[in-house]
Structure 1
């Protein structure tokens, strides 16, 4: 079964991941760092990229399962938009020197809200399906 909403957010988040990957490569070249993150700007780029890699797969799996279980398109798009915004805001906040903590915090807050709301919605859909 096609999952067009999930596919949209997967494409957009893959774009974000690519941008963050390129930033890591550029910072490593700029500061001549092949491995590790001994320079603070390299470390910030690495962590923005790593954090994206840590949260995006679970978020996309959750969106895909919600869409596949029949969550209305508006719900999938609301969660997908909030998740994408959270990931962008977090990456922006953590990448800045000095760090912009409010954007990093807002980004993680949106990410956690989507994961929590999505998990609750998915559990509700699974229970409704099992009992229905």
Structure 2
């Protein structure tokens, strides 16, 4: 199975996660905290930004891969993939700047959830369209 479009967006999401991990590592070194956040708010915030990314990216990428593998139109796969990356970047920027509600955090979350919901619906519709009585 060849999933080049999903591969592109998975790679971009992977790079986002690497940057987030490196931020945590840097803050752990700065505050000399080996595990947890040591009561350091910047470290707690960085951990949460990373956690949110790894909580949402995998399901979105799985749904994207299934959609692409089942013959989803390439441009629609790109739209979903680009929206996912944009949503995650917005969220990272928003939550990194403030633990409160920000433009980036709000719209990053909305965009990410729309991608997950849209791909879930697209995959369900694909199943229904191909259903021939045998499961």
Q: TM-score, normalised by structure 2?
A: 0.92
Decide whether the 8 Å contact of 1:41 with 1:97 is kept in 2. Answer: no
**What's the RMSD between the two structures over aligned residues?**
1.5
Shift of 1:36: 1.1
Shift of 1:97: 4.3
Aligned to 2:48: 47
Q: Structure 1: where are the runs of 5+ without partners?
A: none
Q: Structure 2: where are the runs of 5+ without partners?
A: none
What is the total number of aligned residue pairs between the two structures? 132
Matches within 5 A, 1:1-132: 1-37=1-37, 38-97=39-98, 101-131=102-132
Corresponding residue SS for 1:93 = helix
Corresponding residue SS for 2:131 = helix
Quick one: distance in 2 between partners of 1:14 and 1:4? 15
Quick one: distance in 2 between partners of 1:125 and 1:3? 17
Q: TM-score, normalised by structure 1?
A: 0.94
Distance change in 2, residues 1:99/1:23 (3 Å):
farther
